[in-house]
Amino acid sequence: MIKLKGIAAAGGVGIGIALVLSKDEITVPKRRISHDQISREIYRFEVALIDTRKELSNLQKKISKDVGFEHARIFESHFLALEDRVLIEDVISQIKNKKINVEYAFSQSIKKYVDALLNVNDEYLRERVVDIEDISRRVLRKMLKEQAVSLSDLKEKVIIVSHDLAPSQTASLPKEMILGVVSDIGGRTSHTAIIARSLRIPAVVGVEVATKNIKSGDKVIVDGSKGLIIIRPTEKTLKQYKEKLTAYKKDIKSIHIPKALRACTKDGREVRISANLELPEELPLVKEYGAEGVGLYRTEYIFLGRKDLPSEDEQYKAYLEVVKGSSPNQVIFRTIDIGGDKFLSQPEVPKEMSPFLGWRAIRFCLARTDIFKTQLRAILRTSSPGNVRIMFPMISGVEELRQAKTLLEECKKELKKEGKSFDENISIGIMIEVPSAALTADILAKECDFFSIGTNDLIQYSVAVDRANEKVAYLYEPGHPGVLRLIKHIIDAAHTAKIKVGMCGEMSGDPIFSFLLLGMGLDSFSMTPPQVPKIKELINNVKIEDAEKVVRGALKLSTAKDVEKYLQEELKKVLKEKFYRILMI
Ligand code: PEP
Ligand code: MG
């Protein structure tokens, strides 16, 4: 049994068999084996060699048939390596003498083989290194059972383990077949973590060495609430976790969803609690968890994981489904936020050194006005008075806002000419997620209808911490006094300019912070749907004056740790026995 610690990304417990998604580079685990296991490891090696020979021979036949016998001869050195007695004996002797697993022994022997070839003064032999590496990958994959598996045709329920699961891959996971998600990299607000939370799949990210320690077929426990992975658990641990899983399922069923749509404090302040969505399939969650419409619809997901671009009509149909599904409540469409940790597959989008600081979101849209305008037209066409709002992501200054608005006006004119209907007074908002926008909120507020604070990015940009990097995740602190001051400044600037301000970053769904934000005067909260009942219940049980007092106290503190501790204590005092029940929801 091995326990690994990562970042708790999505709560709940998953118990199942691991499916390790391979990258090009194969991770080879090193395991000690007992004397009794030696013959089994040697047998696995022999089977892998025979299977690889068959695979190569089929490939050779196909190439010979398709492009000619001459070309099929490229596999000759592959076959020679597979039959090389020195190599085979070396692997077997390592298994026997060092008592290590066959994959590791084989990879060590291949390393020696490659080093030897690289040191010979013979061009032809040196060039064979590529063939040896190819053959090594083939044999290793056989032993690690890591052949490419299409996630959409999984036959059994699995725990997905990967180095880095892209947001587009996470979004395309067949939810009913996935018991848990584990990745080597990522943080709590990386998009893979956000989607796992939305889909209610237990997830632990940022484990760093998950793919080194887990192989496909291993039994794994994912404790998404504690950020813990248990590989090949003992019978006793397995039993404990099975009990935990049963209790968790019961808790989920007993979730109390406050009836009234709007949350209201004990002294009468009403606030809107809406849902963050990425995919139309998540729509039922809005009503299931009692959210008041959609406060953030991440439109870029329709662009991910495909080679072509969605047409205006395809987008129109998808957005209309969201609008209809949320009716009579409102939907806020956030225009394409591509870049950062979400990439288009189109070849013209280049890889960047610092994608979070690069060609992302509104910057991409203002450069690719063809893509942007197609989307704006599709969104506009779904609007009728009051039901749809548009917001622009990653605005860093007022010029970007002006340019985006000019393009929107062009789209309106075009649609009018074409006789297509839309809401002429559609509300335009911006996400405040860049410190320069936060500090110039007074200027921006004069030129838009609402703000939505995107703390997932605002925190990463103000503390200079890559939100997807597990190595610096300890610095990613919503309670950092610098972050709190920025948020207070944004809310005050919005209210001075008489516009509403909401928050759609993950911070708004965290109970201790939602209490603080309420006191700062935040008008609306948008979060992953499963968080909604908790935050509603919390707001229904506090008074504005208590929340305002807490803001004054929190702003005097010097560190995020002190802030979190203080907020927790104060919330406990206010909620009394309800505190634990609400946190449990
Ligand atoms: C944010 O940055 O807080 C936000 C909600 O947007 P995203 O997580 O999609 O970057
Ligand atoms: Mg953002």
* CATH number of the domain that residue 133 is part of: 1.10.274.10
Q: Tell me: do 363 and 498 sit in the same domain.
A: yes
Residue 189 alpha carbon, nearest atom of ligand 1: 8
Lookup: tokens for 213: 């320690």
Does the predicted TM-score (pTM) go above 0.85?
no
Q: Tell me: do 293 and 438 sit in the same domain.
A: yes
Residue 505 alpha carbon, nearest atom of ligand 1: 3
Q: Which residues lie across from 159 on neighbouring strands?
A: 18, 180
Domain count across the chain: 3
- Burial grade of 159 (CB within 10 A; 0-12, 13-18, 19 or more): buried
| Cβ of 505 below 6 Å from ligand 1 | yes
Does residue 208 belong to any structural domain of this protein? yes
Q: Which domain, by its residues, includes 115?
A: 35-144
List, in order, residues 6 or more apart from 577 with CB less than 8 Å away: none
Q: How confident is the model at residue 345 (pLDDT cuts 50, 70, 90)?
A: low
| Cβ of 504 below 6 Å from ligand 1 | yes
pLDDT for res 66: 65
pLDDT for res 318: 94
Q: Tell me: do 458 and 317 sit in the same domain.
A: yes
User: Which residue bears the tokens 């939305």?
Assistant: 198
| Cβ of 480 below 6 Å from ligand 1 | no
* C-alpha to C-alpha distance for 524 and 526, rounded to whole angstroms: 7
Residue 506 alpha carbon, nearest atom of ligand 1: 3
Separation of CA 167 and ligand 1 centre (Å): 13
Separation of CA 230 and ligand 2 centre (Å): 32
Handedness of CA 176, 214, 45, 127 (dihedral sign): positive
In Å, how far from its chain's centre is CA 391? 21
Residue 433 alpha carbon, nearest atom of ligand 1: 2
Separation of CA 460 and ligand 2 centre (Å): 10
Percent of the chain with pLDDT over 90: 61
| Cβ of 341 below 6 Å from ligand 1 | no
pLDDT for res 343: 77
List, in order, residues 6 or more apart from 63 with CB less than 8 Å away: 71, 72, 74
The mean per-residue pLDDT over the stretch 192-218 comes to 89
Q: Tell me: do 541 and 519 sit in the same domain.
A: yes
Q: Tell me: do 50 and 180 sit in the same domain.
A: no
* C-alpha to C-alpha distance for 159 and 137, rounded to whole angstroms: 24
Does residue 293 belong to any structural domain of this protein? yes
Separation of CA 458 and ligand 2 centre (Å): 8
Mean pLDDT score of the chain = 89
Last residue of a domain, one of 119, 144, 169: 144
Q: Tell me: do 155 and 125 sit in the same domain.
A: no
* C-alpha to C-alpha distance for 396 and 400, rounded to whole angstroms: 7
* C-alpha to C-alpha distance for 231 and 227, rounded to whole angstroms: 13
Q: Whose CA is nearest to atom 7 of ligand 1?
A: 456
Q: Tell me: do 130 and 221 sit in the same domain.
A: no
Percent of the chain with pLDDT over 70: 92
Q: Tell me: do 188 and 324 sit in the same domain.
A: no
Q: Tell me: do 232 and 295 sit in the same domain.
A: no
Q: Tell me: do 499 and 364 sit in the same domain.
A: yes
Last residue of a domain, one of 144, 167, 186: 144
Q: Tell me: do 231 and 213 sit in the same domain.
A: yes
Does residue 257 belong to any structural domain of this protein? no
| Cβ of 433 below 6 Å from ligand 1 | yes
Q: Tell me: do 560 and 493 sit in the same domain.
A: yes
**Residue 182: which CATH number?**
3.50.30.10
Q: How confident is the model at residue 168 (pLDDT cuts 50, 70, 90)?
A: low
| Cβ of 296 below 6 Å from ligand 1 | yes
pLDDT for res 148: 40
